[in-house]
Chains A and B, each alone.
Chain A
Amino acid sequence: MGMQSQSFVRVRNLSIDIPVTNGILHAVRDVSFEIPKGKTLCVVGESGSGKSMLALGLIGLLPHRATCVSTELSIGGVEMRGLSGAELSQLRGRRIAMIFQEPMTSLNPCYTIGDQMTEMAVRHMKMRLSEARDCARQWLEKVGIPASSERLRQYPHQLSGGLRQRVMIAMMLMCEPELIIADEPTTALDVTIQAQVLHVLASLQRELGLTMLFITHDLGVVSRIADQIAVMYAGSFVELGTAQAVLDTPTHPYTQGLLACIPGFTSKQEKGALGTIPGAVPSLVGNISGCAFFNRCPEAVPACAEGEGPIARRVGQQWVRCLMPSLSDANVETPV
């Protein structure tokens, strides 16, 4: 980690609670991380691990009932906690952009692509409509959509999923934001389209020097774009480190299990045998005693089920939340 002064995103002890009928759902539990300017942090985890809630929490788009607390949450030097709705909406789309998972439903079916793109530039860049249209056209070309003038007149239902996601990317990058939060932007697309969309996003990120928080459950994608990786399980980060460290020397048993689920990713794996992690993510409602991964962990010891769960410790190049005996002599520090 280090080099804290250059971090574009700084998050300390972020927790998100959502009241539900049978208690309080702790969707995100005490998460801390930093993203240096121009770098990509990939958050990896199963469905229901709290990844999307984390993303929505960062830009203040959580459901009304949810509460989000942290000791620090700053983006581009702006402390986000306590900002009013109006102040937040000045930042959203302007300095922080977000791309969602579902291109099929994330664009308004009643307005043309042009309408939905230009309204953003008109609001944030104070452009006149004609300027905004030119700008929208340029951005469509940048994300590889030809015949942009015609596209601007079309409605979302006239476009394929891959095109819609490119429109989304073009729209969200139009106001030249500094941070882009992408919540599984390629998950809903065909594999070939996935690669194209990812390529567009990754190359624009490099070109514009964007800081990116990329949320995915696809480790293949992670290995292509991540500078840092955070592995999320049951609402907390169980492992956090540079991409190389996490992928080459996965330390948390959950990370090891995840990597074993990818065919041909680890050399240890025998041909034909695909790894699985038995069991399911525990319910996030109420408090979890001990380590959340305890009941699925191949290396669990009785001590893992006790107390408030392990704290994050520095092990080699990464931070790991695990009590594993083999890590007991590791260099223990307070988290980042």
Chain B
Amino acid sequence: MLIYLLRRFGLACWVALCVSILTFALLHFSIDPAIAMAGEDATSEDIELIRIAYGYDRPVWIQFGEWFLRAIQGDFGVSPYFGLPVQDLILDRMPVTFTLGALSIVFALGFGIPLGVLAAIYPNTWIDRVSLSVGVFGQAIPNFWFSLLLMIIFAVQLQWLPVSGSDSIWSYVLPTIVLGTNAIPPIMRLTRTGMLDTLSADYIRTAWAKGLPPHIVFFKHALRNAIIPVVAVASIQAAHLLGGSIVVESVFALHGLGMLAYESILRSDIPTMQAVILIFSAFFIGFSALSDVLNAYFDPRIRVQ
């Protein structure tokens, strides 16, 4: 188990390194940081001065090495736009994104799992079709449009909830619905297939033969087995929600990491972009490792040797 964990950690570090090399190279070749920093009216002499002052004239691999050595010590440089250390910016924005991500995944699980269970208990009935429609709707609807729609109805017309900002917990309601709705379909469909599979399993027939009441058969015996793959997918979905909130955070003006990513891209703020992308990829790496661990935890066949 220890060797497994070490290997998993080593792999995670390796992926993180690859991601940072790739983003560094891509950013370096697509944006000239000196031009971006100098502004629109700068002369070519100014640009050259900035280039030399910030060391952008040196070979790429030296710049990367320097960034990397500082990054592993937690120093991601200073954002030229915000004028603040990037790590401070990120730590400042993280709670908003985590709150939104956690609420969204709870929302998605809270709707996805019951809908999937109902659809599997009553397959090919109207209940099944309604939950399938919810799934298709959740997957097909564009985030920005759904956000605006909810804003118009609940914030502008009914005035039940704030339009934007992150001042109170109420500000999170609409963004949570938008992000969560997006994560419902995979969770729902996986729960449905998992439940359908389990409900035809021999041990479910045993459970009925034991004379157990339906709620125990469905929720204790069937769901417990069907949920194992759902947990793994939900964990990846959680990473997706944390990293995929750029549109939703910008529409609702929630000052989280997604908003920071959006702002830094708009301002060609390379150190911030670099760090935010690394953080997002770290979410994915971390949560996929978590999904393996959760899988092992929930399945006694893996956990107990």
Contact = CB atoms under 8 A, between A and B. Distances in A.
A157 B301 contact: yes
B300 to A, nearest CB: 4
Contacts of B13: none
B224 A111 contact: yes
A105 B212 contact: no
Interface string A71-95: 0000000000000011011111110
Contacts of A90: 211
A86 B205 CA distance: 16
Contacts of A97: 209
A119 B224 contact: no
Contacts of B298: 110
Contacts of A123: 210-213, 216
B214 A59 contact: no
B208 A92 contact: yes
Contact of B300 (A59, A94, A157): A157
Given A105-B201, A109-B203, A94 B208 contact: no
Contact of A110 (B202, B211, B213, B225): B225
Q: Is the interface of B mostly helix, strand, loop or mixed?
A: helix
B206 interface: yes
B301 A89 contact: no
A105 B205 CA distance: 10
B213 A86 contact: yes
A86 B209 CA distance: 12
Contact of B209 (A61, A105, A155): A61
Contact of B206 (A89, A91, A100, A110): A100
Contact of B203 (A92, A106, A172): A106
Given A106-B202, A107-B203, A111-B224, A158 B304 contact: yes
Interface residues of B, number: 23
B121 to A, nearest CB: 11
A255 B247 CA distance: 75
A93 B208 CA distance: 9
Interface in B190-241: 201-203, 205-214, 216, 220-221, 224-225
Contacts of B221: 108, 111
Interface residues of A, number: 33
Contact of A108 (B211, B213, B225, B304): B225
Contacts of A85: 214
Interface in A125-179: 154-155, 157-158, 168, 171-172
With a 10 A CB-CB cut-off, give which of A93, A154, A168 has the most chain B CB atoms. A93
B299 interface: yes
B202 A93 contact: no
Shortest beta-carbon contacts, A-B, top 8: A93-B211, A92-B211, A105-B202, A93-B210, A108-B203, A98-B209, A155-B300, A89-B211
Given A105-B203, A107-B206, 4 more contacts: A91-B211, A93-B212, A106-B205, A109-B300
19 contacts: A61-B205, A61-B208, A89-B213, A92-B209, A92-B210, A98-B209, A107-B203, A108-B225, A109-B225, A110-B225, A119-B210, A119-B220, A120-B210, A123-B213, A154-B304, A155-B300, A157-B300, A171-B210, A172-B210
Interface of B: 201-203, 205-214, 216, 220-221, 224-225, 298-301, 304
